[in-house]
């Protein structure tokens, strides 16, 4: 649930919809008013959740969370935790998986009406999490704990105080959940949806959030919104910090630049928008036959794989006119909500749709349609970024519908046959890349074992317990890791630029595929915002994610030609792939490893406590054109940092 990476574009929706677990809690609302904890769904006589509510749920979650912590970081014991809560400076660096479980314990504390303990746990996480991007997490929980610890007439001030702790750059994403959840019925629908899954640590965490943590927040929603508005007004009264200067380069008309072949590997891209720059396999016509005899039909501009009931073999996925009309505003609306513009038409449309999702069925329909709009928009937006200022590029398109997961593998996992089909598609793409000498491939795609496990928990008849779920999820994930390693190894002369992912996780700790795979021709990219700061959502790892690029509210084109800002490492990655294309246009002789080294060496170092560099096009190309030009350091003083 928590940070399920679906299409990275949907990250923000996930933040809003499903950030359950690690966020916030209340006295037992079920005890006070049993009606509140009854879902509208028809009673399921054999539901494993029957005995898993109220106190029983808290006891289960507490025990399961501690068992997990014992596995991942044994030095974190209940006694040790008690000491660190009073003195966080004594605590060791907390692993990501420990942090997840500590959030569970904070939720339990809040649900048991101990907001002081909940607050201390969140503060410990903020101070000791190894991932420094977690230093700003848990705002929902903290704000609710503050409300409950304050006198009635001081509650709003106490809530505002919590929001004031956030840097302005992180404020918007922390406030969306308060806007999205408007009614108790919405929360009940979420809970009923969780109740369709197997009981496990992860689903219990989500269940506790929706059953016991979120209801009192929704009940006092006006207070939170008014505190948020007050802090936002304070921000707006201050001058906005100067934006970071990304130093982009336009190669239009550059005499020293040559044609370069690049590819977008995504879930669908509109070729018509890029007609002038499409790669063309002249030996192939679009006529339903395999003209060049390579085993692929109509591979004139790239390759397509789709399966399932609504499969189509176009380079662009088409969700249908009605779906687009109704759900396209989401792309912009979520951004508006983050920016505090709740009154825009797009934001209002988002809120109305969310308010209407008051049953598991309605929620599912909403999710399906949002995923469909994401699948429609994602690859085109990415391709638009890859081509900016690079008229020398010729773009091939690979569309792998399975890489989006959410439509094909909705509430289930892939079968062995489907995994074999994924592999066949990957092998065909590798063949295409080699045959046509594609030099740079952007893959804003990511797979997590947690996401697969979460879907498998809906298949209760097939996987009766969480052990079975985890075993199958691990097997699926291992095959995918193998598939991606295979294409990287099969195309050593091609640079693969890969999105780090949007779950605020360490890619190595969580084994994110392909971002955790180490290869000399793979460059993993994280996201920074327009002030050059790590995005709240970006995945990271000090060794594996060294390059960051612009990935928050990044304007680019969607399939109908409109320009819309979207956020995600999905947007950061093609910005860097674009730089790699420019580098190759100027010097086609470079190897993938040389390109990576050049980008790393000429990037702007990101200040502590974060790490890595922000790709700098000007300096990379300057170094390429004038090899004596200084690496980073030479012009650092001129940089605008905005902090």
Measured from the CB atom, the residue of 299 and 306 that comes closer to Ca ion is: 299
The reply on whether position 431 binds Ca ion by CB under 5 A is: no
Q: Which helix (H) or strand (E) element contains residue 174?
A: helix 168-180
Strands (E), 424-543: 440-443, 495-499, 522-528
Task: Select from 287, 518, 563, 640 the one that contacts Ca ion (CB under 5 A).
Answer: 287
Q: Number of residues interacting with Ca ion: please give it, by CB under 5 A.
A: 11
Q: Is 643 in the site for Ca ion (CB under 5 A)?
A: no
Give buried/exposed letters for 443-453 (b at 16+ CB in 10 A, else e).
Answer: bbbbbbbbbbb
Q: Which stretch binds Ca ion (CB under 5 A): 64-72, 91-99, 286-294, 314-322?
A: 286-294
Handedness of CA 152, 153, 154, 155 (dihedral sign): positive
Identify any residues that bridge with 129 across adjacent strands, giving them in sequence order: 94
Tell me if 291 contacts Ca ion by CB under 5 A. Answer: yes
- Of 271 and 514, nearer to Ca ion (C-beta) is 271
Cross-sheet strand order for the sheet of 604-605: 302-305, 393-400, 260-266, 440-443, 495-499, 522-528, 547-550, 613-614, 604-605
Q: Which two tokens stand for residue 112?
A: 């048991």
Of 273 and 428, the one with the shorter C-beta distance to Ca ion is 428
Please give the Cα distance from 144 to 315 (Å, whole number). 46
* 296: contact with Ca ion by CB under 5 A: yes
Q: Which is nearer to Ca ion, 87 or 282 (CB)?
A: 282
- Applying the rule CB under 5 A, the residues between 266 and 285 that interact with Ca ion are 284-285
Q: x-or-dash pattern for Ca ion, window 447-486, by CB under 5 A? A: ----------------------------------------
CB neighbours of residue 315 within 10 Å:
24
Tell whether residue 299 is a contact of Ca ion (CB under 5 A): yes
Among 144, 202, 298, 450, binds Ca ion (CB under 5 A): 298
Q: How many Å apart are CA 501 and CA 320, to the nearest integer?
A: 28
Structure tokens at 28: 């037992």
**Nearer CB in complex with Ca ion: 315/585:** 315
* Options 40, 290, 345, 467; binder of Ca ion; rule CB under 5 A: 290
- Measure the CA–CA gap between 246 and 477, rounded to whole angstroms: 36
**What's the distance, CA 147 to chain centroid?**
30
The residue among 33 and 290 lying less far from Ca ion, judged by its C-beta, is: 290
* Shortest distance (Å) from residue 280 CB to Ca ion: 12
Q: SS3 of 477, please? A: helix
Return the number of the residue (169 or 281) whose C-beta is nearest Ca ion.
Answer: 281
Out of 51, 82, 289, 489, which residue is the one contacting Ca ion (CB under 5 A)?
289
Which parts of 339-387 fold into alpha helices (H)? 345-356, 360-386
Nearer to Ca ion, 5 or 302 (CB): 302
> Is the CB of 21 or the CB of 302 nearer to Ca ion?
302
Min dist CB 261 to Ca ion, Å, is 17
Q: Which of 113, 161, 185, 292 is close enough to bind Ca ion by CB under 5 A?
A: 292
Cβ proximity to Ca ion: between 74 and 295 the closer is: 295
- Cβ at position 295, least distance to Ca ion in Å: 7
Among 156-164, 295-303, 330-338, 355-363, the segment contacting Ca ion (CB under 5 A) = 295-303
CB 609 within 8 A of CB 135: yes
Instruction: Enumerate residues 529-558 that contact Ca ion by CB under 5 A.
Output: none
In angstroms, give the least distance from the CB of 188 to Ca ion. 52
CA distance readout (Å), 498 to 268, 301, 592, 615: 17, 21, 13, 14
Burial 130-150 (b: 16+ CB within 10 A, else e): ebebbbbbbbbbbbbbbbbeb
Cβ-count burial 317-342 (b if 16+ within 10 Å, e if not): bbbeeebbeebbbbbbbbbbbbbbeb
Does 104 engage in binding with Ca ion (CB under 5 A)? no
Query: Considering beta carbons, is residue 294 or 348 the nearer one to Ca ion?
Result: 294
Residue of the chain from 183, 294, 323, 344 that contacts Ca ion (CB under 5 A): 294
Q: How far is the CB of 293 from Ca ion (least distance, A)?
A: 7
CB of 288 to Ca ion, least distance (A): 6
Tokens of 285: 């016509």
Interface with Ca ion in residues 576-615 (CB under 5 A): none
CB < 8 Å & 24+ apart, contacts of 344-351: 350/180, 351/179, 351/180, 351/182
Distance of CA 623 to the CA centre of its chain: 33
Closer to Ca ion at the Cβ: 284 or 466? 284
Taking the complex as a whole, the smallest distance from the CB of residue 396 to Ca ion amounts, in Å, to 13
To the nearest whole angstrom, how small is the minimum distance from the Cβ of residue 300 to Ca ion? 7
What are the backbone angles phi and psi of residue 41, rounded to the nearest 5°? -65, 150
Minimum distance from residue 400 beta carbon to Ca ion (Å): 17
Sites of contact with Ca ion (CB under 5 A): 284-285, 287, 289-292, 294, 296, 298-299
């Amino acid at each position: 649930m928590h940070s399920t990476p679906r299409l990275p574009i949907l990250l923000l929706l996930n933040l809003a919809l499903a950030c359950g677990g690690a966020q916030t809690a209340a006295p037992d609302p079920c005890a006070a008013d049993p009606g509140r904890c009854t879902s509208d769904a028809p009673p399921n006589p054999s539901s494993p959740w029957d005995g898993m509510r109220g106190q029983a749920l808290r006891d289960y979650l507490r025990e399961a969370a501690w068992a997990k912590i014992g596995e991942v970081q044994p030095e974190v014991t209940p006694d040790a935790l008690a000491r660190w809560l009073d003195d966080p400076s004594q605590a060791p660096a907390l692993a990501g998986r420990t942090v997840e479980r500590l959030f569970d314990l904070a939720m339990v504390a809040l649900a048991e009406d101990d907001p002081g303990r909940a607050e201390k746990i969140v503060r410990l996480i903020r101070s000791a999490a190894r991932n420094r991007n977690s230093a700003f997490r848990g705002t929902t929980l903290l704000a609710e704990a503050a409300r409950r610890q304050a006198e009635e007439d001081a509650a709003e001030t106490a809530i505002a105080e919590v929001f004031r702790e956030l840097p302005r750059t992180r404020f918007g994403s922390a406030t969306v959940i308060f806007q999205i959840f408007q009614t108790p019925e919405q929360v009940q629908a979420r809970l009923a949806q969780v109740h369709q899954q197997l009981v496990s640590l992860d689903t219990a965490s989500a269940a506790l959030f929706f059953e016991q943590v979120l209801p009192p927040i929704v009940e006092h929603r006006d207070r939170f919104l008014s505190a948020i508005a007050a802090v936002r007004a304070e921000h707006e009264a201050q001058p906005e910090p100067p934006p970071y200067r990304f130093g982009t380069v336009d190669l239009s008309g550059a005499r020293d630049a040559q044609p370069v072949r690049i590819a977008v590997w995504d879930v669908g891209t509109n070729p018509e928008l890029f007609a002038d720059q499409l790669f063309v396999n002249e030996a192939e016509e679009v006529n339903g036959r395999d003209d060049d005899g390579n085993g692929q039909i109509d591979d004139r501009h790239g390759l397509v794989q789709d399966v399932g009931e609504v499969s189509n073999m176009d380079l662009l996925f088409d969700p249908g006119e009605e779906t687009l009309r109704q759900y396209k505003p989401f792309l912009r609306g979520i951004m508006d909500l983050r920016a505090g513009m709740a009154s825009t038409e797009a934001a209002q449309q988002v809120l109305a749709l969310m308010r209407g999702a008051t049953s598991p069925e309605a929620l599912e329909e909403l999710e399906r349609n949002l995923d469909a709009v994401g699948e429609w928009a994602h690859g085109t937006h990415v391709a638009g970024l890859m081509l900016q200022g690079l008229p020398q590029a010729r773009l091939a398109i690979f569309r792998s519908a399975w890489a989006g997961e959410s439509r094909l593998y909705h509430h289930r996992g892939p079968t062995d046959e489907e995994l074999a089909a994924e592999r066949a598609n990957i092998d065909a793409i590798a063949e295409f890349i080699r045959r046509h000498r594609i030099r740079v491939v952007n893959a804003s795609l990511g797979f997590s074992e947690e996401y697969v496990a979460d879907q498998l928990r809906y298949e209760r008849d097939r996987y009766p317990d969480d052990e079975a779920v985890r075993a199958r999820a691990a097997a699926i994930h291992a095959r995918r890791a193998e598939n991606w390693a295979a294409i990287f190894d099969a195309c050593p002369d091609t640079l693969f630029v890969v999105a780090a992912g949007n779950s605020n996780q360490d890619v190595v700790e969580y084994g994110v595929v392909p971002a955790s795979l180490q290869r000399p021709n793979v460059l993993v990219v994280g996201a920074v915002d327009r002030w050059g700061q790590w995005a709240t959502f970006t995945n990271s790892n000090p060794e594996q994610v060294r390059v960051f690029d612009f990935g928050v509210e990044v304007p680019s084109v969607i399939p109908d030609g409109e320009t819309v800002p979207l956020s995600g490492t999905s947007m950061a990655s093609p910005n860097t792939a674009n730089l790699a294309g420019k580098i190759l246009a100027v010097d086609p002789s470079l190897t993938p490893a040389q390109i990576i080294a050049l980008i790393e060496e000429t990037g702007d170092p990101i200040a502590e406590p974060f790490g890595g560099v922000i790709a700098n096009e000007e300096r990379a190309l300057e170094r390429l054109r004038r090899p004596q030009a200084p690496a980073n350091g030479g012009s650092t003083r001129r940089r605008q940092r905005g902090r």
